[in-house]
Structure 1
């Protein structure tokens, strides 16, 4: 019996998630048919709403940028053997640092606001993530439990800050709006195609974050330590790798990436801080990371998909009022189900297919040699 051959990277990163998504859409289409609507019309409305216009592209890429940040946050911790599900709280607290610096610098120039708020958001997100990392590294507390708890702590803390400390005079639990000189430019200021969309300059930060994560994890000594610890803690210990240091550093990087979401949403779009502005993006990042197999390329594609679902769902509700808006949530749930909990469903089938191809290749080579 021949040894099992690992699947090519493009199969696990691209093909397998694509098959899972296709299955989710097929089942979602059946749900549309059950309520008496044409599934093809519904899927076309979903697709056109996300990609059919410049404004649709702008909204899709805006949502995707948020999901890139929170997805990468989950991925970095996952490579170190940790399941950081605290991206929601880390992004929420990061908004405090981002908006305080943005309001402090908003009478200068938007470049200073961008740089200052980005640095502040990353620091606040990192600090909020370091605490659960330290508790796991030094005290043995499970990072899943502590990051869940810190999401609730972040929610309570930010609620207090917005209601009692930094709320604008006469406002209801929100800060004042960033002044005109400090507002980040929208893509529509440069490209008319993105008119009326919230896509802004932090989209480029999302691209840089993808490149940074790839280089960090696969091209640096620290990344090697992170992957070694995540793959085999005992081997990492025998190799002289400090688990405490790697865990804390990985969690700090993870929190800093999640914190970048605050720059895009609070500083770039809403231009103020409001209660609950994260709106579940941190939790969607978990699905994005697992669907993308914790690889930057896969995360970029998964983030684009979820961005399309968010934007296309709004168009679907507008074009087909008979289709309830909850149906988009069902499709999102199906995507999460098939790419997360059942993400390996197609693995045995693909493994057999590629094993047959590998076995057939030497036979073809032998045949061609004999004929020659």
Structure 2
């Protein structure tokens, strides 16, 4: 769908959108720990880190994690020199763990090939590990003031409503990006991108947009049509397959066996409790990390991944034997420092809660 044909009245005045939005942003901008204040110069490292952390994660969840991360690794050099296992542990709970590995990999490239300074143009940024089209555009615009078209979920929603783009997602993203390109100004492109994000977060919300408070209401076709909350139109969700597995809690004294998951695959490189295969039916004790008197608990732990849902049984055992594998014995009282992914943290909580 052509964005211009979908909204001829709004499309006729795209130049008016940026000034109205930036005026609103100057008065209502959010103060965020990674965002430069007026008159300050943005820190590319903090901009990049925040954009990666905020993917599929809320601002409220990211705030404390961002503060802890930047206190420990405040720049590209310190992150490039960091132990990857510690980085993965610090990322625990934020999900999509490949992002953490890519942060380290990108920091190493910045230090080794760019003298520790982040590239400022989109094309070079996209050559760094983990920087896709969105992240490269966001960093170029926000950190360096380059004109770049930045479209996250908030911007996507704002633009779809402004231009009444009714084609269902994901096909509508071509028209949405074209429309966003037409309203993105050459000056203050970074502020414009952040203004769109703030507008989508605070006013142009998914279910109950506050249109009467919106600085763009007079230019919004979705508002004029009377049902902006219907946009963007989302494709019907497909049912996700269900998989099953078993998590193994092997205890020796006051320690429990942890293993490091393979670098490739889900939760790659993370410390975790041993687990058997994830298959279509409950696998019982298949894949147990050691021969022991395993007992299956009358409890399960569930977790949703992008492409499937997972339900895991809990098997527990005690041992006095030495484990010859690649695992390590971790003090149970200090499991919160192991950086377990959410799935395994749930399992650990379920076992220790029963044992209290």
Q: TM-score, normalised by structure 2?
A: 0.27
Decide which structure has greater strand share. 2
Decide which structure has greater helix share. 1
Which structure is higher in RCO with an 8 Å CA cutoff and minimum separation 6? 1
